[in-house]
């Protein structure tokens, strides 16, 4: 005995502080538990059940849903579709936004006007955006085919449709990514550029030697969050494509598939399984991204 | 490491809250929609999904309010959200008091005892007699044990809509009641070819079966769902013959990729298409359209299955469907809820519904008034089909949407819509459809 350190009594001030601390985080904690964690575990439970109507009479079936989901070709097709969408939205959404941010970070006339214009897609309701694009793409009456004098089935040709949908995604996220980039750019001290100009570095050289490395934490953050966002895309496909669209099979995302099963067909258990599979996939991607952070992100 | 765990948790949260959002957020939404917060005695909340009918329904409900002293608030929620909200309302215990039921979902709601059982009320109510209503609609809302959960609100039928201006322009005679589907084919061919593909002679709404391709199958003597709701004859020779006729018309109609992007009613209203089949629930949309003076309705064409050149018994069919007025089993004021339903479904309410042009009646014999509710537009084709043809109730099983959805996809009729020039693809699609429906029923 005697090795153990004497237990330190908490002062009344410390107890009071602790109470207040809990009180301040309670709203967030309760919100997270009720709105996020409870549904998370409920979803996992449902994925192991053959669900009954109105959430009553669920019977436990073990991994039966998982066997069906993983053996269904449409699951893998939808996962590939989702990845294809992410491969358009994330790289283009990031690169275009970065270029715009660098341009708009300069002192030029009407910067705020341009910023507002590029940010506008963010404040539009996604459903409204999709409806407008749907009509732009329309083969018969659409603006694109009329202006270009073409007759392209933008959203009905399986070879093109996934790109068309990806373009809407890029257009929608550019503004948001740009604002994040601008805030990242403003944290880079101006002296670096001054010094570089004195040493005779060109604008392009400055971008790759100063801007790109110092912006890499921001870039990484955007890539990671947008990747998760893109893998859970649903509204674009849902709004733009009719359910008898021949290209739907090669464009529908995995969340769309989840919607079809869980809400159209009323098979909540199967839908829950699809989502859990998606989460597992996102976790793997996130893990790989986190490991890659050390290689790509420059820390001062 | 902490950061990784945090990132992982956030990722799970983001993705899984998707699964939850349907349940939790709409649960909150239904609170306002359900409105059971208002005192039980003074008001009833009514939910419907068709904005075209809101004014008429509210008017009839207001008359009931004047008699009963209970106010009624009619809320419109669009079709897709209607069912999501209602389902969430059942799970969360916050349903509207009185609402519409539909053949797609009625079985599920009735089996789970979430609707108010109406038998005792009907027995005491002189205004409601089973024999006065369309049998298919009445039976739809009666459970196998005899419990009744909704009263027939209306019924709808299908007719052929055509654009006179386009027929004039290409010198083709207007559709007549004596037309078979072969005549439709010839006219559609003449217009599509005459315009060089600029205007389509016909357009088939491939995402709505009831007003479209189902009717071919019945004209030629097959059934999408058999009378016992346990099977199908869609893959039989008769079914294939019907769909072969459908394919033939499609080969001179608007390509499916066009229809999937624009929709047949938009094509028709933009003068891009000469003929479509439409349900009576859509009349108002065409009656109020810009070029409505060019539009006219003809009787649903018949399928000349025996090839004798005239319409025999059982060769002219229109699907019909009927909504039901149902009440929540948990309503705070069941007596008032039934009283309102009875007011809607008894002769006076049904007559008024037809006169206002809301819909045709669920009661037999009240629909003549409906035919005259659209001055300048002859919509008698919807009521005449009942004497000059036959009606079949819209096919349903317990989980209708499962096979209905699968039939529209690749592996079923989508293949055939895409290649309308190949009869073999259509025949194969019929066989696939037979299997899809049988498998779906086996899993119910």
Give domain status of residue A54, yes or no.
no
A7: pLDDT strictly greater than 70: no
A119: pLDDT strictly greater than 90: no
Q: Are residues A158 and A36 in the same domain?
A: no
> Structurally, how many domains does chain A consist of?
2
| A242 vs B260, B410, B418: nearest CB | B260
Residue B309, SS3 per DSSP: coil
Structural domain span for residue A23? 12-47
A95: pLDDT strictly greater than 60: yes
DSSP summary character for residue B379: -
Distance (Å, whole) CA B338 – CA B334: 6
Q: What is the pLDDT of residue B413?
A: 93
Min Cα–Cα distance to chain A from B204, Å? 12
Give domain status of residue A55, yes or no.
no
Best to test chain A binding among B198, B260, B270 (most A CBs inside 10 Å): B260
Nearest alpha carbon to residue B392 among B221, B183, B250: B221
Q: CB-based contacts of A240: which residues, under 8 Å, 6+ apart?
A: A130, A133, A134, A137, A155, A164, A165, A168
Please state, rounded to an integer, the average pLDDT across all residues of chain B: 87
Please name the residues between 246 and 265 in chain A that touch chain B, using a CB distance below 8 Å. Answer: 246, 249, 255, 258, 260, 262-265
Partner B contacted by A55 (CB < 8 A): yes
| Alpha helices by DSSP H, chain A | 12-32, 38-47, 64-71, 73-105, 111-123, 126-137, 143-148, 158-185, 190-198, 203-206, 212-231, 235-240, 254-259, 268-296
Give domain status of residue A68, yes or no.
no
DSSP summary character for residue B94: -
Q: Among A222-231, A243-252, B69-78, which stretch is predicted with the lowest mean pLDDT?
A: A243-252
A2: pLDDT strictly greater than 90: no
Q: Are residues A100 and A215 in the same domain?
A: yes
Q: CB-based contacts of A111: which residues, under 8 Å, 6+ apart?
A: A104
Summarised one tens digit per residue, pLDDT across range B383-407 is 889 888 899 999 998 888 889 988 9
Confidence of residue B244 (pLDDT cuts 50, 70, 90): very high
Tokens 């119910």 label which residue? Answer: B444
Q: What is the pLDDT of residue B155?
A: 92
B6: pLDDT strictly greater than 60: no
| A246 vs B13, B114, B257: nearest CB | B257
Q: What percent of chain B has pLDDT over 70?
A: 91
Confidence of residue B28 (pLDDT cuts 50, 70, 90): very low
A164 dihedral zone (left: phi>0; alpha: psi -120 to 50; beta)? alpha
Is the pTM of the predicted complex or chain greater than 0.90? no
Confidence of residue A245 (pLDDT cuts 50, 70, 90): confident
Partner B contacted by A299 (CB < 8 A): no
A138 chain-B contacts, CB cut-off 8 A: 261-262
Enumerate the β-bridge partners of residue B152: B324
Residue B286, SS3 per DSSP: helix
Give the chain B residue nearest A157 (alpha carbons).
B257
Q: Are residues A82 and A213 in the same domain?
A: yes
Q: At what angle do helices B347-355 and B54-68 cross, to 10 degrees?
A: 150
Token digits of residue B356: 């206002």
Q: What is the pLDDT of residue A10?
A: 78
Residue B442, SS3 per DSSP: helix
Distance (Å, whole) CA B43 – CA A196: 75
Nearest alpha carbon to residue B382 among B160, B103, B163, B153: B160
Q: What is the pLDDT of residue A97?
A: 94
Q: CB-based contacts of A67: which residues, under 8 Å, 6+ apart?
A: none
Distance (Å, whole) CA A114 – CA B320: 56
Residue-range domain boundaries for chain B: 42-156+321-365, 158-320+377-442
Partner B contacted by A141 (CB < 8 A): yes
Enumerate the β-bridge partners of residue B295: B163
Distance (Å, whole) CA B331 – CA B336: 10
Enumerate the β-bridge partners of residue A49: A60
Continuous segment of H or E residues that includes residue B327: strand B324-327
Q: What is the pLDDT of residue A300?
A: 62
Q: Are residues A238 and A94 in the same domain?
A: yes
Q: Among B82-86, B245-249, B418-422, which stretch is predicted with the lowest mean pLDDT?
A: B82-86
Confidence of residue B7 (pLDDT cuts 50, 70, 90): low
Token digits of residue B22: 């349907």
Partner B contacted by A275 (CB < 8 A): yes
A274: pLDDT strictly greater than 70: yes
Mean pLDDT of B243-268: 92
Summarised one tens digit per residue, pLDDT across range A121-178 is 888 888 888 889 999 999 888 999 999 998 888 998 889 999 999 999 999 999 999 9
B322: pLDDT strictly greater than 60: yes
Nearest alpha carbon to residue B34 among B91, B105, B102, B93: B93
A293: pLDDT strictly greater than 50: yes
Mean pLDDT of B308-317: 90
* Beta carbons of B354 and B154 less than 8 angstroms apart: no
**Between residues A200 and B41, which one has the greater pLDDT?**
A200
Q: What is the pLDDT of residue B38?
A: 38
Summarised one tens digit per residue, pLDDT across range B92-150 is 878 999 999 998 889 889 988 899 999 999 999 988 999 999 988 999 999 989 999 99
Summarised one tens digit per residue, pLDDT across range B154-198 is 999 999 999 999 999 999 999 999 999 999 999 999 999 999 888
Q: What is the pLDDT of residue B32?
A: 35
Q: What is the pLDDT of residue A43?
A: 92
Distance (Å, whole) CA A38 – CA A72: 29
Q: Are residues A41 and A87 in the same domain?
A: no
A270 chain-B contacts, CB cut-off 8 A: none
Q: Give the largest Cα separation in chain A, rounded.
A: 91
Q: Give the largest Cα separation in chain B, rounded.
A: 81
Residue B204, SS3 per DSSP: coil
Partner B contacted by A16 (CB < 8 A): no
Interchain contact, B11 vs A138, CB within 8 Å: no
Q: At what angle do helices B334-345 and B347-355 cross, to 10 degrees?
A: 60
Tokens 């009521």 label which residue? Answer: B383
Token digits of residue A264: 């159209």
Mean pLDDT of B236-261: 93
Distance (Å, whole) CA A145 – CA B1: 52
A270: pLDDT strictly greater than 90: yes
A203: pLDDT strictly greater than 50: yes
Q: What is the pLDDT of residue B254?
A: 93
Confidence of residue B88 (pLDDT cuts 50, 70, 90): confident
In the CATH scheme, what is the code of domain B42-156+321-365? 3.40.190.10
Fold agreement (B42-156+321-365, B158-320+377-442): yes
Distance (Å, whole) CA A219 – CA A95: 9
Token digits of residue A156: 């009905």
Q: Are residues A231 and A112 in the same domain?
A: yes
* Beta carbons of B298 and B124 less than 8 angstroms apart: no
Q: What percent of chain A has pLDDT over 90?
A: 56
Q: Could you tell me the fold of the domain covering B158-320+377-442?
A: D-Maltodextrin-Binding Protein; domain 2 (3.40.190)
DSSP summary character for residue A207: I
Token digits of residue B78: 């669009």
DSSP summary character for residue B213: T
Q: Are residues A149 and A37 in the same domain?
A: no
Partner B contacted by A206 (CB < 8 A): no
Token digits of residue B337: 């809820």
Q: What is the pLDDT of residue B37?
A: 37
Mean pLDDT of B25-33: 34
Tokens 């008091």 label which residue? Answer: B97
| A43 vs B14, B16, B261: nearest CB | B16
Q: Among B79-83, B255-259, B417-421, which stretch is predicted with the lowest mean pLDDT?
A: B79-83
Distance (Å, whole) CA B3 – CA B10: 10
β-bridge pairing B200-202 and B98-101:
unpaired
Residue B207, SS3 per DSSP: coil
In terms of residues, how long is chain A? 300
Confidence of residue B11 (pLDDT cuts 50, 70, 90): low
A283 chain-B contacts, CB cut-off 8 A: 8, 11-12
Partner B contacted by A232 (CB < 8 A): yes
Distance (Å, whole) CA B67 – CA B72: 12
Give domain status of residue A5, yes or no.
no
Distance (Å, whole) CA A132 – CA A128: 6
Continuous segment of H or E residues that includes residue B298: strand B295-298
Distance (Å, whole) CA B136 – CA B152: 9
Enumerate the β-bridge partners of residue B151: B325
Supply angle C-alpha A47, B24, A75, rounded to 5.
Answer: 35
């Amino acid at each position: 005995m005697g090795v153990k350190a004497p237990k330190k009594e908490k002062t009344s001030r410390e107890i009071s502080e602790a109470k207040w601390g809990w009180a301040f985080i309670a709203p967030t904690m309760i919100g997270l538990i009720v709105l996020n964690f409870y549904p998370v575990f409920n979803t996992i439970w449902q994925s192991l059940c053959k669900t009954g109507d109105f959430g009553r009479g669920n019977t436990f079936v073990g991994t039966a849903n998982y066997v069906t989901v993983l053996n269904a070709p449409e699951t893998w097709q939808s996962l590939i579709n989702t990845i294809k969408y992410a491969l358009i939205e994330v790289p283009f959404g990031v690169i275009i936004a970065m270029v715009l941010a660098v341009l708009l970070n300069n002192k030029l006339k009407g910067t705020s006007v341009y910023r507002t214009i590029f940010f506008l897609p963010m404040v539009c309701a996604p459903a409204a955006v999709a409806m407008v694009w749907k009509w732009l793409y329309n083969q018969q009456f659409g603006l694109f085919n009329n202006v270009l004098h073409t007759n392209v089935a933008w959203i009905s040709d399986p070879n093109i449709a996934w790109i068309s949908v990806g373009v809407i995604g890029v257009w929608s996220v550019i503004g948001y990514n740009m604002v994040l980039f601008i805030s990242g750019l403003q944290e880079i001290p101006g002296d670096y550029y001054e010094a570089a100009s004195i040493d005779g570095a060109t604008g392009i050289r400055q971008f790759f030697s100063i801007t790109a490395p110092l912006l890499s934490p921001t870039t990484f953050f955007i890539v990671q969050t947008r990747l998760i966002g893109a893998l859970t895309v649903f509204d674009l496909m849902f709004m733009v494509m009719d359910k008898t669209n021949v290209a739907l099979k090669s464009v529908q995302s995995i969340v769309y598939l989840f919607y079809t099963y869980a809400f159209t067909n009323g098979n909540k258990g199967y839908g829950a399984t699809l989502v859990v599979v998606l989460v597992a996939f996102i976790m793997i991607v996130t893990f790989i991204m986190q490991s890659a952070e050390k290689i790509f992100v420059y820390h001062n | 490491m902490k950061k990784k765990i945090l990132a992982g948790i956030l990722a799970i949260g983001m993705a899984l809250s998707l699964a939850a959002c349907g349940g939790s957020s709409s649960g909150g939404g239904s609170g306002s929609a359900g409105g059971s917060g208002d005192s039980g005695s003074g008001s009833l909340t009514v939910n419907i999904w068709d904005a075209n009918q809101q004014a008429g329904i509210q008017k009839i409900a207001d008359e009931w309010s004047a008699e009963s002293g209970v106010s009624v608030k009619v809320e419109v929620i669009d079709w897709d959200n209607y069912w999501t909200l209602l389902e969430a309302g059942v799970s969360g215990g916050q349903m509207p008091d009185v609402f519409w039921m539909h053949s797609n979902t009625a079985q599920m709601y009735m089996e789970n005892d979430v609707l108010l059982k109406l038998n005792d009320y009907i027995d005491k109510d002189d205004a409601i007699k089973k024999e006065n209503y369309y049998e298919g609609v009445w039976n739809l809302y009666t459970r196998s044990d005899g419990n009744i959960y909704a009263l027939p609100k209306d019924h709808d039928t299908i007719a052929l809509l055509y654009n006179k201006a386009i027929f004039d322009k290409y010198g083709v005679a207007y559709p007549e009641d004596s037309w078979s589907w072969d005549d439709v084919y010839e006219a559609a061919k003449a217009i599509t070819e005459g315009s060089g593909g600029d205007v389509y002679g016909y357009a088939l709404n491939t995402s709505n079966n009831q007003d479209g391709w189902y009717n071919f199958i019945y004209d030629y003597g097959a059934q999408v769902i058999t009378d016992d709701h346990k099977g199908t004859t869609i893959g039989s020779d008769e079914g294939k013959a019907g769909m072969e006729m459908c394919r033939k018309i499609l080969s001179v109609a608007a390509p499916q990729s066009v229809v999937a992007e624009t929709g047949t009613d938009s094509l028709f209203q933009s003068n891009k298409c000469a003929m479509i089949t439409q349900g009576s629930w859509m009349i108002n949309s065409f009656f109020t359209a810009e070029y409505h003076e060019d539009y006219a309705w003809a009787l649903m064409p018949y399928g000349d299955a025996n090839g004798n050149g005239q319409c025999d018994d059982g060769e002219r069919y229109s699907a019909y469907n009927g909504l039901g007025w149902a009440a929540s089993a948990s309503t705070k004021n069941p007596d008032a809820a039934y009283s309102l339903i009875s007011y809607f479904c008894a002769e006076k309410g049904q007559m008024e519904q037809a006169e206002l042009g809301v819909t045709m009646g669920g009661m037999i014999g009240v629909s003549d008034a409906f035919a005259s509710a659209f001055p300048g537009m002859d919509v008698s084709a919807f009521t005449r089909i009942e004497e000059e043809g036959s009606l079949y109730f819209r096919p349903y099983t317990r989980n209708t949407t499962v096979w209905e959805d699968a039939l529209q996809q690749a592996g079923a009729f989508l293949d055939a819509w895409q290649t309308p020039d190949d009869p073999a693809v259509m025949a194969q699609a019929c066989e696939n459809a037979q299997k899809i429906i049988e498998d779906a029923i086996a899993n119910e």
